């Protein structure tokens, strides 16, 4: 079976084509996985500009589609999958309308895919058997991206319980806003990680202290806007020449990154303990942060030696269509042909949640 998947929820246009065994879970063969990032276009706004993103998706999607078919050697497609939410409404519609046209013209079933779920499924790319899949549950899933920071309990395959989420900014958004303030460009996560890596506490003239919002609260919610404000105050209190200095930028980058890591690690470990998780699964663009992965992995090893840690390949942690294709495959395997999603009924839900 050949699955074609489309992703346009935010500022990355993605198309993927995979070949799978439609009867039982077996190794997925990736025939094409293309992504066109709009980072450069949105850089000057310091964030994603929805109407511009929509226009770029409209321009790029047909080009990527032709390219991916060529790369996959023009296979006969059996199933189409598209992200229907959560995301930016105008952007989601570009992908959904494109997918509906294709489904209608080719007479194919169309599957609606939840983007947050897909970030989990990105971890399953190399799974080869049902057993391998069953062995990872119950699991705690942490999604940290530019738009989301959520903790979800996955009791069993396909059974979710929502535990908590950010009450204001997402962790990635916090990286982006602080990065912008420091003049590090957009997105802020990667340069903050780079600057933080150069910071040496014992040699530094600067001590930056930022809060760890909600870290000790009993719930599984997060809040990052106070952290951003605290960073802004620290920055404003410094003399202009200090603000631009390499040393200060390194010190505040390291503290920002550590504050975010501390909160994420603390709440994830707490959830994994409470729900006796066999696995902690990660997803979302912020997962690309090496320090976060390193510290979370070390803490799991120390506090929960029987818990495994599963994080996707870095390339699959940010938005992509391959994870949409993988999710479609799993949905197909579990719900099968009952899933004859009528293209006419497929619609966008910008605030789609992961609850079952
Ligand atoms: P997504 O929303 O999943 O596409 O991920 C994009 C978000 O991930 C942006 O907010 C980035 O700043 C953030 N991000 C990407 N790489 C890193 C990194 N190495 N460290 C921290 N955040 C990152
Ligand atoms: Mg995402």
What confidence tens digit (pLDDT) does each residue in 38-68 have? 888 887 777 788 888 999 999 999 999 999 9
CB 95 less than 6 A from any atom of ligand 1: no
Long-range contacts of the stretch 51-56 (C-beta < 8 A, 24+) = 51/90, 53/10, 53/11, 53/88, 53/90, 53/91, 54/88, 54/90, 54/91, 54/93, 54/94, 56/11, 56/13
Distance 240 CA to ligand 2 centre (A): 36
pLDDT in tens, 326-355: 999 999 998 766 666 688 889 999 999 887
Q: Which residues of 159-178 are buried (b: 16+ CB within 10 A; e: fewer)?
A: ebeebbbbebbbbbbbbbbb
> Per-residue pLDDT tens for 25-37?
999 999 999 999 8
Beta strand pairing call for 29-37 and 79-85? unpaired
| 236 — pLDDT class (breaks 50, 70, 90) | very high
Closest by CA to 274, choosing from 354, 117, 119, 163, is 163
DSSP state of 319: S
Which whole number is the average pLDDT over 183-203?
94
Which residues, listed in sequence order, are joined to residue 143 by a DSSP beta bridge? 150, 283
Predicted confidence (pLDDT) at residue 322 exceeds the cutoff of 90: yes
Q: Whose CA is nearest to atom 7 of ligand 1?
A: 146
Q: How far is the CA of 316 from the centre of ligand 2 (A)?
A: 10
Q: Give the pLDDT mean for 287-309.
A: 96
Assess whether pLDDT exceeds 70 at residue 356: no
- Please tell me if the CB atom of residue 319 comes closer than 6 angstroms to any atom of ligand 1: yes
**Number of Cα atoms under 13 Å in the Cβ half of residue 175:** 31
147 lines ligand 1 (CB under 6 A): yes
Q: How far is the CA of 251 from the centre of ligand 2 (A)?
A: 28
The answer to whether the CB of 86 is under 6 A from ligand 1 is no
98: which DSSP letter? H
Reported as type and span, the H/E element at residue 41 is helix 39-42
Which residues fall inside 5 Å of ion ligand 2, going by CB? 145, 319
Handedness of CA 134, 140, 144, 148 (dihedral sign): positive
pLDDT at 339: 65
The mean pLDDT value for 255-281 works out to 98
Question: Which residue from 170, 179, 64 is spatially nearest to 119, judged by alpha carbons?
Answer: 170
Question: What integer pLDDT is reported at residue 44 of this predicted model?
Answer: 77
pLDDT of residue 354: 84
Q: What is the average pLDDT value for the chain, to the nearest integer? A: 94
Tell me: the pLDDT tens digits for 75-110?
A: 999 999 999 999 999 999 999 999 999 999 999 999
For residue range 138-150, list pLDDT tens digits in order: 999 999 998 899 9
Q: Which atom of ligand 1 is nearest to 285's Cα?
A: 5
Determine if ligand 1 sits within 6 Å of the CB of residue 312: no
> Residue 5 has what DSSP assignment?
E
> Percent of the chain beyond pLDDT 70?
98
Hey, what are 196's tokens? 């933080």
Fill in the DSSP letter of residue 166. B
Nearest CA to ligand 1 atom 22: 189
Does ligand 1 come within 6 angstroms of the Cβ of 234?
Answer: no
Nearest-5° Cα angle at 70, 66 to 74: 100
How far does residue 107's CA lie from ligand 1's centre (Å)? 37
Six token digits for residue 72: 């996959």
Whether 189 lines ligand 1, by a CB cut-off of 6 Å, is yes
Ligand 1 contacts CB of residue 14 (under 6 A): no
- Among all ligands shown, which has an atom nearest to the Cα of 46? 1
Q: How many angstroms separate the alpha carbon of residue 226 from the centre of ligand 1? A: 19
Mean of the pLDDT values across residues 218-241?
Answer: 97
Q: Comparing C-alpha atoms, which of 89, 215, 210, 92 is closest to residue 164?
A: 215
With CA atoms as reference, report the closest residue to 146 among 224, 217, 94: 224
Q: What confidence score (pLDDT) does residue 334 get?
A: 85
Sheet of 159-165: strand order equals: 159-165, 149-156, 139-144, 279-283, 308-310
Give nearest CA residue, ligand 1 atom 2.
Answer: 146
Please enumerate in sequence order all residues whose Cβ is within 8 A of that of 320, keeping only pairs 6 or more positions apart, or say none: 7, 12, 14, 16, 33, 35, 122
Residue 316 scores a pLDDT above 50: yes
Torsion angle (degrees, nearest 10) of CA 183, 195, 320, 147: -60
Q: Cα–Cα distance between 89 and 257 in angstroms, integer?
A: 30
Domains of the chain, earliest start first:
2-125+316-345 (3.30.420.40), 130-311 (3.30.420.40)
How far is it, in rounded angstroms, from Cα 287 to Cα 317? 6
Above 90 in pLDDT, residue 245? yes
């Amino acid at each position: 079976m050949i699955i074609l998947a489309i992703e346009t929820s935010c500022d990355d246009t993605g198309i993927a084509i995979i070949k799978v065994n439609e009867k039982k879970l077996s190794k997925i063969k990736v025939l094409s996985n293309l992504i066109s990032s709009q980072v450069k276009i949105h850089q000057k706004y310091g964030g994603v500009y929805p109407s511009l993103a929509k226009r770029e998706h409209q321009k790029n999607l047909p080009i990527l589609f032709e390219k991916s078919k060529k790369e996959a050697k023009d296979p006969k497609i059996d199933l189409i999958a598209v992200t229907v939410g959560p995301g930016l409404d105008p952007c989601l519609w570009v992908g959904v309308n494109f997918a509906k046209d294709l489904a209608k013209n080719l007479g194919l079933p169309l599957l609606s895919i939840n983007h947050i779920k897909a970030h989990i499924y990105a971890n399953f790319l190399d799974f080869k058997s049902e057993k391998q899949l069953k062995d990872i549950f119950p699991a705690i899933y942490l999604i940290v991206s530019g738009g989301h920071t959520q903790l979800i309990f996955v009791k069993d395959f396909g059974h979710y319980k929502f535990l908590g989420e950010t009450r204001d900014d997402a962790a990635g958004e916090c990286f982006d806003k602080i990065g912008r303030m420091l003049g590090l460009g957009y997105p802020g996560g990667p340069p903050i990680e780079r600057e933080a890596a150069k910071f040496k506490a014992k040699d530094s003239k600067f001590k930056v202290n930022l809060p760890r919002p909600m870290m000790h609260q009993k719930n599984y919610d997060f809040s990052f806007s106070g952290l951003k404000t605290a960073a802004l105050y620290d920055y404003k209190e410094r003399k202009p020449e200090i603000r631009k200095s390499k040393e200060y930028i390194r010190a505040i980058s390291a503290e920002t990154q550590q504050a975010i890591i501390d909160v994420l690690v603390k709440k994830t470990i707490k959830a994994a303990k409470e729900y006796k998780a066999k696995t902690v699964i990660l997803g979302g663009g912020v997962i690309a942060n090496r320090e976060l992965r390193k510290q979370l992995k070390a803490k799991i090893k120390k506090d929960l030696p029987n818990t495994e840690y599963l994080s996707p390949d870095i390339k699959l942690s940010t938005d992509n269509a391959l994870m949409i294709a993988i999710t479609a495959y799993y949905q197909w395997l579990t719900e099968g042909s009952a899933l004859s999603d009528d293209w006419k009924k497929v619609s966008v839900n910008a605030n789609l949640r992961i609850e079952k």
